[in-house]
């Protein structure tokens, strides 16, 4: 069973020989970027560089996926926001939104989806990057991409501060905006599907229960998430950061193929709550374990994830590019050895 077969079989709900080790979020490494002779700031703007860099994590470490894009600004940019890729940064800085679309409450109602959203911003570049990475390593690994969740995207096109307050004060207005965001996300996800991705992760990072109450999650965040997952025909993963134990059942109600949680989730409890068949991906700390931990910490953490009952060992967020190669190797080695023993 190769990595691709393993991951796809897992998504289908079949038995696999061992827990796979992959991600639906960014996982490029500095090692890969340097080897290719690229610069981090450029890989977001060039389909070939993006695809090459993303494929290098599999090629160098056997990481069991190929995921593009690398940044989180694709949808917001396509909707009309201006992004900053920090072209002159010395170290690694991820692109951010420089110019928002909505500047005040009054402008919220005016947000609409451009007719040709599929051709805006970097969506065409993304289609090309997906095509390229699929051509390159698509026989060996599953190819993934990600979109933002409606609330997280809304928090990019307007001030998060205002969005949060309005979620409380004027929930109807926010619900309306989130529905538009859901439609935009669906357009983008469909383009990725057409380009050939096997799975799509929906990253609803802004709606963690560290920030919003489970009650608001259910009434406001869940409906547009359900809409998005319903429209995705590829396998889908719903990722939410932070403390998610109180909302994992709601996450399942969004009806993704799998849910993804980070290190603040108690996965043993989540497993108990959701039962043995639920696909739960997680949940190690990609910085404090994989980047700044030693090999031993990496190994014990991988074993703990598996013992707690994850269906796939998967990071809590993007893998930070400065990850030491020996830690990547330790992660793969440990999951390969220990992942079949459950």
Partner 1 sequence: MADEARKKEILEKLRNGVIQYDEDACREGANEALEAGLDANEAIFDGLVSGMEEVGRLFEAQEYFVPEILMCADALYAGLDILKPHCRQMDMGIKGSVVIGTVEGDVHDIGKNLVKMMFDVAGFTVYDLGRDVPLEKFVEEQLKTDSELVCLSAMMTTSMVGMPKIIEKIKEKNPDCMIMIGGAPTSKELADRWGADGYAEDASNALKEAIKMVAFLKKLRDEKLKKQ
Which residues sit at the interface with partner 1, rule CB under 8 A?
84, 86, 89, 91-94, 96-97, 160-161, 164-165, 167-169, 210-213, 216, 241-242, 286-288, 292, 317-318, 320, 322
Q: How far is the CB of 101 from partner 1 (least distance, A)?
A: 14
Q: How far is the CB of 112 from partner 1 (least distance, A)?
A: 24
Residue 84, phi-psi category: left (phi > 0), alpha (psi -120 to 50), beta (remainder): beta
Q: How far is the CB of 136 from partner 1 (least distance, A)?
A: 25
Cα 303 off chain centre by: 23
Residue closer to partner 1 by CB (options 195, 222) is: 222
Residue closer to partner 1 by CB (options 191, 318) is: 318
Q: How far is the CB of 93 from partner 1 (least distance, A)?
A: 4
CB burial of residue 335 (10 Å; 0-12, 13-18, 19+): buried
Using DSSP's 3-state secondary structure scheme, residue 160 falls into helix
What are the residue ranges of helices labelled H in the chain?
A: 3-12, 30-36, 40-43, 47-61, 74-78, 123-137, 150-157, 160-169, 171-195, 214-216, 222-231, 248-253, 267-274, 295-308, 325-338
Residue closer to partner 1 by CB (options 23, 167) is: 167
The structure tokens listed for 33 are: 């970027």
Distance spanning both ends of the chain, measured CA to CA = 18
Q: Is 203 within 8 Å of 228 (Cβ atoms)?
A: no
Q: Is 14 within 8 Å of 92 (Cβ atoms)?
A: no
Query: Which DSSP category does 79 fall into?
Result: T
Residue closer to partner 1 by CB (options 198, 318) is: 318
Q: How far is the CB of 184 from partner 1 (least distance, A)?
A: 20
Q: What are the backbone angles phi and psi of residue 339, rounded to the nearest 5°?
A: -70, -10
Q: How far is the CB of 1 from partner 1 (least distance, A)?
A: 32
Q: How far is the CB of 309 from partner 1 (least distance, A)?
A: 25
Residue closer to partner 1 by CB (options 213, 255) is: 213
Residue closer to partner 1 by CB (options 213, 336) is: 213
Residue closer to partner 1 by CB (options 92, 118) is: 92
């Amino acid at each position: 069973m190769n990595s691709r077969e393993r991951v796809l079989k897992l998504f289908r709900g079949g038995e696999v020989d061992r827990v796979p080790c992959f991600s639906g979020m960014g996982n490029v490494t500095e090692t890969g970027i340097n080897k290719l002779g690229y610069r981090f700031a450029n890989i977001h703007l060039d389909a070939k560089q993006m695809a090459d860099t993303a494929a290098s994590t599999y090629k160098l470490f056997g990481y069991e996926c190929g995921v593009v894009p690398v940044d989180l600004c694709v949808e917001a940019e396509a909707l009309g926001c201006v992004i900053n890729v920090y072209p002159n940064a010395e170290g690694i800085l991820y692109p951010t939104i420089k110019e928002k679309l909505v500047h005040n409450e009054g402008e919220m109602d005016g947000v609409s989806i451009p007719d040709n959203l599929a051709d805006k911003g970097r969506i065409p570049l993304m289609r090309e990057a997906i095509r390229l990475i699929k051509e390159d390593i698509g026989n060996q690994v599953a190819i993934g991409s990600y979109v933002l969740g409606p609330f997280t995207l809304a928090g990019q096109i307007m001030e998060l501060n205002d969005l949060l307050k309005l979620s409380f004060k004027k929930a109807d207005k926010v619900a309306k905006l989130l529905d538009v965001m859901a439609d935009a996300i669906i357009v983008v996800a469909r383009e990725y599907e057409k380009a050939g991705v096997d799975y799509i992760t929906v990253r609803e990072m802004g709606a963690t229960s560290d920030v919003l109450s489970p009650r608001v999650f259910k009434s406001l965040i869940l409906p547009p998430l359900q809409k998005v997952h319903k429209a995705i025909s590829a396998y889908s993963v719903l990722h939410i950061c932070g403390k998610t134990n109180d909302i994992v059942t709601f996450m399942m109600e969004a009806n993704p193929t799998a849910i993804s949680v980070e290190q603040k989730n108690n996965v043993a409890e989540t497993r108990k709550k959701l039962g043995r068949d639920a696909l739960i991906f997680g949940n190690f700390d990609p910085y404090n374990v994989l980047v700044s931990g030693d090999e031993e910490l990496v190994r014990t953490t991988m074993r703990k994830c598996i013992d707690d009952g994850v269906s796939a060992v998967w990071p809590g967020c993007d893998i930070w590019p400065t990850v030491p190669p020996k830690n990547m190797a330790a992660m793969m080695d440990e999951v390969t050895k220990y992942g079949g023993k459950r």
